[in-house]
Amino acid sequence: MKKPVFYLILSVFYFLVLSCSYKKENKSTKEATKLPNIIYVLADDLGYGDIHSFNTKGKIKTPNIDRLASNGMKFTDAHTSSAVCTPTRYGILTGRYNWRSPLKSGVLTGKSKALIPPERSTVASLLKKSGYHTGFIGKWHLGWDWAQKDSLKTSGEGWNPEDFENIDFKKPIKNGPQDLGFDYSYGHSGSLDMAPYVYIENGKVTAEVDTVTVDKGKYTWWREGPTASDFDHDDVTPNFFRKSMDFIKDRSNKSNPFFLYLALPSPHTPILPTDEWLDKSGLNPYADFVMQIDDYMGQLMKVIDEAGITENTLIIFTSDNGCSPQADFKLLASKGHHPSGVYRGHKADIYEGGHRVPFIASWPAVIESGSAQNQTICTTDLMATCAKITNINLREDEAEDSFSMLPLFRSVDGYGREATVHHSINGSFAIRKGNYKLVFCPGSGGWSDPKPNSSNIDSLPPMQLFDLVKDPSEEQNLYGEKPEKVKELTDLMVSYIKKGRSTPGTDQENSMVNLKGEEWQQLKTIIPN
């Protein structure tokens, strides 16, 4: 009698184990097939070397962002499409390189007109097709059309306080986030050091614009300009996080998934850590500010956990370009911290420090925790990724430079990116394929030496070729040694320009003039005739 009882108990045990295993597997499969919530957090001017999990020799403590990386996938070779703010944001939302638009160099101001026309698809408008509730909170910096007191009067571009005198702040804006697919929007127009200093919620100013403010501090500076009564520079970053956490709490109880684009204004200037975080790093205010952002990311992740939506929420955390020299590279280096890590240059540059950024994707239902990818990716890839997640077929005139990262998330083959194009603040190009990166200018194309138009620039080779595997710091120019590689990459760059896309499909049109209606000058360095 003992043996039958024993075998009965054993059978029951095995049944329970298999049942639990099946339930776990079934739950995972079910979660993976449901449309995920998508949260895209874009830091501003955060360097590759500022996150500890990307730079273990770094001196800034970022435990919460590191935890996000350990729970998801870390991308070690991720790039923005540009080394400055506006063009990268254009690429993220449209899946298209900015230089195909009239934005051939530089950035917009807080007064600039809308860069993205309402007829162009965005990540938000695409996701709405699949029933997503879409929200934008933060720094827009893609232009929108302010109402004017006198439609016939012209004024400056937005760099001076008098440039805003003709804006009618009592009337709604046009061609803003709400016209590009966002159900809810709350933010300010440009960088936090760019006037006007007002919040716009769903197209309308949230408070009376009743004063003019300016700050001239080394780290805390912002340009003089009109300011609303509810706009406190010190509280903007905390405010955007609070708004985002409220958005997540509200939408987590709804039946349809949500997309949140949280575009931080920090740690870009003005560098404004709150009193709680000032001097916490032992380095400088910039490092303090990064630590504050990390803390808020921890709070955001806690809200997601408490809402019970972690398993099927895709969180992406990255930056819009490399760290700005406003962070004080020299001082930080003296204390052992390098915002660009081992990479050359910083914000604005064509060198790696200008556009190589930390990039983390967490999605427990799909992405293996603690995983890593060394595949070269670009922030333009968000739109194609969202299309693949939602099973939407992109049109020929959508996401021309976007490739789905979903295969990478699943650690399988199928990521289609052949090469990546980089762009500096002055519109200089580079193209990266495999180990090699060809730079179509003799210097940085930005703010580090050798600068454009510097006294020695004409004595340098016209192009730069680097093997980034052997020479990640871009110290050895191979331009004169590998003419075949120079030709290969030049031909590829020319084809991407002429086709109007880097993805497969029918040719598309590029804008051949800049925002001022002038000829596309930077093109001559690649296609002389």
CB contact set of 79 (below 8 Å; sequence gap of 6+): 355, 356, 357, 376, 377, 378, 379, 420, 422, 432
Using DSSP's 3-state secondary structure scheme, residue 288 falls into helix
Q: Given pLDDT bands bounded at 50, 70 and 90, which one contains residue 216?
A: very high
Position 4 in a domain: no
Q: Whole-angstrom Cα distance, residue 140 to residue 88?
A: 11
CB contact set of 61 (below 8 Å; sequence gap of 6+): 52, 281, 291, 294
| 473 and 326 co-located in one domain | no
Position 408 in a domain: yes
Using DSSP's 3-state secondary structure scheme, residue 261 falls into strand
Tell me if 83 sits within 8 A of 162, measured CB to CB.
no
Residue 436 token pair:
């090699």
| 203 and 88 co-located in one domain | yes
Using DSSP's 3-state secondary structure scheme, residue 404 falls into coil
Backbone angles phi and psi of 73, in degrees to 5: -120, 130
| 371 and 433 co-located in one domain | no
Position 9 in a domain: no
Q: Whole-angstrom Cα distance, residue 84 to residue 155?
A: 25
Convert the pLDDT of each residue in 84-105 to its tens digit: 999 999 999 999 999 999 999 9
What is the percent of the chain with per-residue pLDDT over 70, rounded to a whole number? 94
Asked if the model's pLDDT at residue 482 lies above 50, the reply is yes
Asked if the model's pLDDT at residue 476 lies above 80, the reply is yes
**β pairing state of 184-188 and 371-373:** unpaired
Q: How far is CA 348 from CA 43, 58, 132, 287, in A?
A: 16, 22, 34, 20
Convert the pLDDT of each residue in 161-202 to its tens digit: 999 999 999 999 999 999 999 999 999 999 999 999 999 999
CB contact set of 176 (below 8 Å; sequence gap of 6+): 114, 140, 144, 145, 185, 200, 203
Predicted pLDDT of residue 378: 98
Residue at a domain's end among 365, 397, 418: 418
Q: Tell me the CB-side half-sphere exposure of residue 4, using CA atoms within 13 A.
A: 1
* Domain around 519: 423-525
Position 332 in a domain: yes
Q: Tell me the CB-side half-sphere exposure of residue 45, using CA atoms within 13 A.
A: 23
DSSP string over 291-348? HHHHHHHHHHHHHHHHTT-STTEEEEEEESSS--GGG-HHHHHHTT--TTTTSS--TT
- Rg value, the chain, Cα: 24
Position 243 in a domain: yes
Quick one: 106 exposed, middle or buried, by C-beta within 10 A (0-12, 13-18, 19+)?
middle
- Kindly report the pTM of this predicted structure: 0.93
Mean pLDDT calculated for residue range 428-442: 98
Report CA 179 to chain centroid distance, whole Å: 21
Using DSSP's 3-state secondary structure scheme, residue 285 falls into helix
| 497 and 358 co-located in one domain | no
Asked if the model's pLDDT at residue 511 lies above 80, the reply is yes
Position 6 in a domain: no
Sign of CA dihedral 58, 59, 60, 63: positive
CATH of the domain at 445: 3.30.1120.10
| 447 and 390 co-located in one domain | no
Report CA 60 to chain centroid distance, whole Å: 21
Q: What angle is formed at CA 143 by the lines to CA 138 and CA 144, rounded to 5 degrees?
A: 95
Q: Whole-angstrom Cα distance, residue 111 to residue 390?
A: 35
Type of residue numbered 133: H
Instruction: Say whether the peptide bond before residue 196 is cis (omega within 30 degrees of 0).
Output: yes
Q: How many domains does the chain have?
A: 2
| 396 and 455 co-located in one domain | no
Mean pLDDT calculated for residue range 48-75: 98
Q: Tell me the CB-side half-sphere exposure of residue 241, using CA atoms within 13 A.
A: 19
What SS3 string covers 204-249? EECCCEEEEEEECCCCCCEEEEEEECCCCHHHHHHHHHHHHHHHHH
Q: Whole-angstrom Cα distance, residue 214 to residue 286?
A: 20
Q: State the CB neighbour count (10 A cutoff) for residue 230.
A: 13
CATH of the domain at 192: 3.40.720.10
| 324 and 380 co-located in one domain | yes
What SS3 string covers 69-134? HHCCEEEEEEECCCCCHHHHHHHHHHCCCHHHCCCCCCCCCCCCCCCCCCCCCCHHHHHHCCCCEE
Position 23 in a domain: no
Q: How far is CA 463 from CA 49, 420, 422, 456, in A?
A: 27, 17, 14, 14
| 404 and 516 co-located in one domain | no
Asked if the model's pLDDT at residue 33 lies above 80, the reply is no
| 412 and 490 co-located in one domain | no
**Average pLDDT over all residues of the chain:** 94
Predicted pLDDT of residue 374: 97
Mean pLDDT calculated for residue range 310-323: 98
Residue at a domain's end among 376, 402, 418: 418
Q: State the CB neighbour count (10 A cutoff) for residue 469.
A: 9
DSSP string over 472-499? TT-----TTT-HHHHHHHHHHHHHHHHH
| 175 and 293 co-located in one domain | yes
Q: Whole-angstrom Cα distance, residue 333 to residue 295?
A: 24
| 358 and 478 co-located in one domain | no
If you ran DSSP here, which 8-state letter would residue 174 be given?
B
Asked if the model's pLDDT at residue 122 lies above 60, the reply is yes
Position 17 in a domain: no
Predicted pLDDT of residue 528: 78
Using DSSP's 3-state secondary structure scheme, residue 371 falls into strand
Asked if the model's pLDDT at residue 16 lies above 60, the reply is no
Tell me if 489 sits within 8 A of 433, measured CB to CB.
yes
Residue at a domain's end among 372, 393, 418: 418
| 118 and 181 co-located in one domain | yes
